[in-house]
Amino acid sequence: MDVVEVKQACEAHYGLVDSPFSLTPDTGYYVEMPSHDDAFESVLYGLTSGEGFIKVTGEVGTGKTLLCRRLLNHLANDKIATAYIPNPTLSPTALWVAIGAEIGLTGYQRLSQLRNDIQSYLVNLAKGNNRLVLVIDEAQCLPADTLEALRLISNLETERQKLIQIVLFGQPELNEIIDRTEFRQLKQRITTSAELKTIDSPETIARYLNHRMSFAGYSGGPLFTKSAVRRLWICSQGTPRLINALASKALLVAFGQGVATINVEHVEAAASDTEGAFHDISWRERIRHVIGL
């Protein structure tokens, strides 16, 4: 069997109808965790003000894009207009074009006309007691002149209200960028900030694993032993993306051995084949690292 066939056979063996640990940010697999729930509530609270920037930061793999998509789904359910920019490595002109495309304005030859029509669109939204929420993922990649253009876009307003709110999702480098003197005006407009953190305990990881397995179709008891979950926590350092990668490989290893549960050895085998996982220092050193000693 090739790799795809092995993967499919593994999933069938466990009664799965989907890949439980895919790296694709599917909101159906969202697991409530304190850091993520706090960030989500902070963003929603920030949006109630109707003005200013909202900033969410987190290390690589902590679930920013998943939270971003959850936010977009929530706003869509509330019938709030949104524009989503997943790749912000754009010039200021390209940013205007991308925003226009998100709200159905395309084919413009002159930037001035596009700007005017975007503003007219926003004014019409305001007349209907609505507004546009612009959501930008990977915001640490915004070029300096585009970030300044974004600040100017945030100035769009009527006499009574702002016409657009901007939510930035980015890696911690975004904080360093905004701390620069040249962006002090933008920094003053950030009304809400939140930070995503890694998963802080094996118990939370166990809940995370069980939810994802269940959503993917698994209906049996816990597959991962307690010791395997703890090892998974240490090897992944609590980073959801690494947890997914390790758990997926551990399932394959256990399946290949024909065993029913995933134990420490399976997780360790997965870690030895995963970039970024802790697998090359002593367990005592790993534990000391995780708990910050």
The confidence score (pLDDT) of residue 157 equals 84
The confidence score (pLDDT) of residue 37 equals 94
Contact 254, 262 (CB under 8 A): yes
Cα gap 35→212, rounded to integer Å: 18
The confidence score (pLDDT) of residue 250 equals 95
Are both 191 and 204 inside the same structural domain?
no
CATH of the domain at 259: 1.10.8
pLDDT in tens, 1-57: 667 788 889 889 899 999 999 989 899 999 988 899 999 999 999 999 888 899 999
**Structural domain tally of the chain?**
2
Structure tokens at 163: 């016409």
**Domain stops at, among 196, 229, 264:** 196
Are both 42 and 187 inside the same structural domain?
yes
Are both 247 and 122 inside the same structural domain?
no
pLDDT in tens, 176-209: 999 999 999 999 999 999 999 999 899 999 999 9
Backbone angles phi, psi at 94, to 5 degrees: -65, -30
Whether 29 is in a domain gets the answer no
Q: List C-alpha distances in Å: 198 to 53, 91, 112, 231.
A: 24, 33, 44, 15
User: How many residues can be counted in the chain?
Assistant: 293
**Domain stops at, among 147, 165, 196:** 196
Collapse the DSSP code of 171 into the 3-class scheme (helix H, G, I; strand E, B; otherwise coil) and give the result: coil
Q: What are the DSSP calls for 51-68, one per residue?
A: -SEEEEEE-TTSSHHHHH
Are both 119 and 206 inside the same structural domain?
no
Name the CA dihedral angle for 243, 245, 250, 251, rounded to a multiple of 10 degrees: 100
CATH of the domain at 155: 3.40.50.300
Are both 67 and 123 inside the same structural domain?
yes
This prediction's pTM: 0.89
Whether 27 is in a domain gets the answer no
Collapse the DSSP code of 114 into the 3-class scheme (helix H, G, I; strand E, B; otherwise coil) and give the result: helix
Are both 13 and 62 inside the same structural domain?
no
Ordered strands of the 190-196 beta sheet = 81-85, 132-136, 164-170, 53-58, 190-196
DSSP 69: H
Provide the residue range defining the domain that includes 235.
3-21+200-290
Name residue, tokens 């007349």: 127
pLDDT category, 279, cuts 50, 70, 90? low
Beta strand spans in the chain (E)? 53-58, 81-85, 132-136, 164-170, 190-196
Whether 174 is in a domain gets the answer yes
Structure tokens at 34: 């304190």
Whether 26 is in a domain gets the answer no
pLDDT in tens, 215-272: 999 998 899 999 999 999 999 999 999 999 999 999 999 999 998 899 999 999 999 9
Collapse the DSSP code of 224 into the 3-class scheme (helix H, G, I; strand E, B; otherwise coil) and give the result: strand
Name residue, tokens 């939810």: 211
The confidence score (pLDDT) of residue 287 equals 41
